[in-house]
Amino acid sequence: MALYKDYSDVELATLLREAEHVSNPAFAELYNRFWKKLLVVAMNRLGSMDEAEEVVQEVFYNLWKRRTSLTLVASPATYLATAVKYEIINRLAKIQRSAEYKRHAARHNQSTDNSTQESVGSREVRVIIADTVKALPEKCRIVYQLSRENGYTQNQIADKLNISSKTVESHLARAMKSLRTRLRHFQVFFL
């Protein structure tokens, strides 16, 4: 049996590609050479030993899984370091998504606690908006309704009503100012 410690990283990678058996000394040697170094890198980035161990374990698992189709452009050290880097990025993204989901769920739970109060407030706001829109001058009201209720762009409204874009902009500004004035005691930021 050859002493795999004497082989270079590239030679070990070549032997790894040719491996057919589950117990492969070339893989074991690569694992022993790089495990601690990769673990330190992962630990520094993730701040959790458990997460770091999972990342490094996943990288070596993928190395073994892809060993027959593996084409190393650079050295195994570079390949493994890059693989750890991307696995860390994926792990951090997953952690961030999980945290965002938890924050969203907490906000949702908090908001459903006040759902009756919000429902009444929402109805009240809708009534005020409807009354304010009805009180607008005719052209201003039409421009607002085409924009906010029908989803038209300013250019589409200008074409439809045969007025300039600046006039449309002016009507929308007037409508929004009226709505903000009427809703100033509500904390409404969607206007």
Q: pLDDT tens for residues 155-189? A: 999 999 999 989 999 999 999 888 888 887 765 44
Whether residues 98 and 172 share a domain: the answer is: no
Answer whether 51's CB lies under 8 Å from 91's CB. Answer: yes
pTM over 0.85: no
Query: Which residue in 41, 34, 43 sits closest to 76, CA to CA?
Result: 34
Asked whether residue 126 falls in the same domain as residue 96, the answer is no
> Which range of residues forms the domain containing residue 153?
120-182
70 falls within a domain: yes
Rounded-to-5 percentages of helix, strand, coil across the chain: 75, 0, 25
Give the DSSP per-residue string, 83-112.
HHHHHHHHHHHHHHHHHHHHHHHHHHHHHH
Q: Which of 81, 110, 139 is the last residue of a domain?
A: 110
Q: Are residues 76 and 98 in the same domain?
A: yes
Q: What are the Cα distances from residue 172, in Å, to 58, 93, 155? A: 56, 41, 13
Least confident of 53-62, 112-121, 137-146: 112-121
Token output for 164? 């300039």
100 and 124 housed in the same domain: no
Predicted confidence (pLDDT) per residue in 70-122, tens digit: 776 568 888 899 999 999 999 888 888 888 888 887 776 665 555 555 555 67
Q: What letter does residue 114 receive in the DSSP assignment?
A: T
Regarding whether 74 and 52 lie in a shared domain, the answer is yes
CB neighbours of residue 142 within 10 Å: 15
Q: Which domain CATH number covers 149?
A: 1.10.10.10
Looking at 63, 92, 110, the residue that finishes a domain is 110
- Looking up residue 30, the CATH number of its domain turns out to be 1.10.1740.10
155 and 70 in a common domain: no
Residue 156: the pLDDT is 92
- Residue 96 CA to residue 85 CA, distance in Å, equals 16
pLDDT value at position 83?
92
Last residue of a domain, one of 75, 110, 145: 110
Q: Are residues 32 and 101 in the same domain?
A: yes
The verdict on 57 and 20 lying in the same domain is yes
Q: Is residue 190 part of a domain?
A: no
Task: Give dist(CA 8, CA 117) in Å, integer.
Answer: 71
